[in-house]
Amino acid sequence: MFNLSGSELLIIAVLGLVVLGPEKLPGAMKRVGKIYREIRNITDNVQREVQKAMDEPMKQLKETQSAARDVFEGKMPHLATPNFRQGTSAASAKGESEAESDGGTSQPDSATDPTEH
């Protein structure tokens, strides 16, 4: 958590011995240990709560991803939109949607072009 090496801990212990003295150092170390444990427990609890809060949305996201993959792979064709049918290109899908939008009465471009008479 604090990323202290052995030499840094030794320097802190020597400074504590000089500042507090040999009679108060064990009690201070015990208090520091308790405080460290409490901080560690609090951070562990926060991590568990965040993980628990994220589990349900992640589960739903994975289910949605799996369903989308099934649709795009053609495993569930009844859910696919006309633009994403397998074997249908975007251009032919566009042509189909244009034909559907005008009721199927669209004529080829040559029939509506006034310059080709």
Whether residue 52 is contained in a domain is answered as yes
- Residue the block writes with tokens 């030794």: 10
Q: Are 95 and 108 in contact (CB under 8 A)?
A: no
What's the mean per-residue pLDDT of the chain?
75
Q: Output the pLDDT for position 68.
A: 84
11, part of any domain: no
The stretch 56-68 carries a mean pLDDT of 88
Counted domains in the chain: 1
pLDDT for 98 equals 52
Q: What pTM does this model have?
A: 0.43
What the block records as the tokens of 40 is: 């560690």
Q: What is the pLDDT of residue 102?
A: 52
48 lies in which domain range?
24-95
* pLDDT of the residue at 12: 86
